[in-house]
Amino acid sequence: MNLESRSPGDTVSTSAAARVLRGVDELRAALAPARREGRAIGLVPTMGFLHEGHVSLLRAARAENDVVVMSLFVNPTQFGPNEDLDRYPRDEGRDLRLASEAGVDLVFAPDVPELYPDGAATAVEVTGNLTSVLDGDPQRRGSGHFRGVTTIVAKLFNIVGPDVAYFGQKDAQQAAVIKRMVRDLDFPLEVRVMPTVREDDGLAMSSRNVYLEPADRVRAVALSRAVATCEQQATARGSLDAGLAAARIELAAAAIDPEYLEARDAETLEPVEGLTGRPILVAVAAKVGGARLIDNVVINPHMGRAR
């Protein structure tokens, strides 16, 4: 890997191995020449166990930047006490291979004390509606989940200093929260949100899909069917309620009782009564067997869709 010689859009034919860095100082030193020369740095934050969704972010970063950094860190502060931190799937060897194949230059893979040293007492929090509804509802993951996300993402922004950072539309609420943090704290970077990548049958790709037993894997498709049906019906009938009702039928047919199925303004996450003329996020979360899954669609005023 040669940080001096790669240009945005370069095709990576023989995937050079990405360089793995474990320390903050080491990463900053590796990026210093590129930063001095004003070369564009793209960051793809991940918790590893990469799938095609991650790879689509890496490819976008490779096409649009001189230097691509991927972080690989299962962030403990965004997991609640009853969540799956201990069993979260991990396979660093495979992740490094996929990152290298996608043209990543540097993989930042610190251990927990490197990012949360003893006595770490600072958090970054986006307050209010954005983090207290949907997954942020105290009955669900709670706003603490998003405090963990914004804290680690702010740290990564400070460590890497990217020009562009890439996130997936599948985590629509996370993307909205991060965009607000970037705006409110004046991080000098662009947040790019890339479309959800789906399996052939529509299931949104997620590292947590490995928790699904075969029968639950079949049922899980109902989440993507539900949000797609909602978008189709709402658009065709000019009624958000009709769309939501059709989505509920899809979920019930698969014996899925959602934690939530809600329509909200896609940027502010304020509740909406009907089609408002602004993009509307229809988001669903449900436990399917051993996996808690989320999915969403954005109904755009001009009937295009981002899924």
CB of 38 to ligand PAF, least distance (A): 26
Stretch 173-212: interaction string toward ligand PAF, x if CB under 6 A: -x--------------------------------------
**Contacts (CB under 6 A) with ligand PAF, residues 125-164:** 149, 152-153
* C-alpha to C-alpha distances, 31 to 23, 36, 65, 107, 277, nearest whole angstrom: 12, 9, 13, 12, 43
Torsion of CA 287, 289, 292, 293, to 10 degrees: -90
Q: State which residue, 181 or 212, has the beta carbon closest to ligand PAF.
A: 181
Question: Contacting ligand PAF (CB under 6 A), which of 21, 34, 41, 45?
Answer: 45
Closest CA to 285 of 135, 81, 131: 135
Of 44-52, 135-143, 182-190, 250-258, the window that binds ligand PAF (rule: CB under 6 A) is 44-52
Of 105, 135, 171, 259, the residue at the interface with ligand PAF (CB under 6 A) is: 171
Q: How far is the CB of 149 from ligand PAF (least distance, A)?
A: 5
- Considering only residues 75 to 134 of the shown chain, the ones binding ligand PAF according to CB under 6 A are 75, 78
> In the range 47-66, which residues lie near ligand PAF by CB under 6 A?
47
- Tell the smallest beta-carbon distance from residue 40 to ligand PAF (Å): 20
Taking the least distance from each CB to ligand PAF, the nearer of 247 and 266 is 266
- In the complex, the smallest distance separating the C-beta of residue 112 from ligand PAF, rounded to whole angstroms, is 12
Residue 145 or 219: which CB sits closer to ligand PAF?
145
The least CB distance from residue 150 to ligand PAF, in Å, is 9
C-beta closer to ligand PAF: residue 107 or 251: 107
302 is a catalytic site residue: no
- The contact set with ligand PAF (CB under 6 A) reads 45-47, 75, 78, 149, 152-153, 171, 174
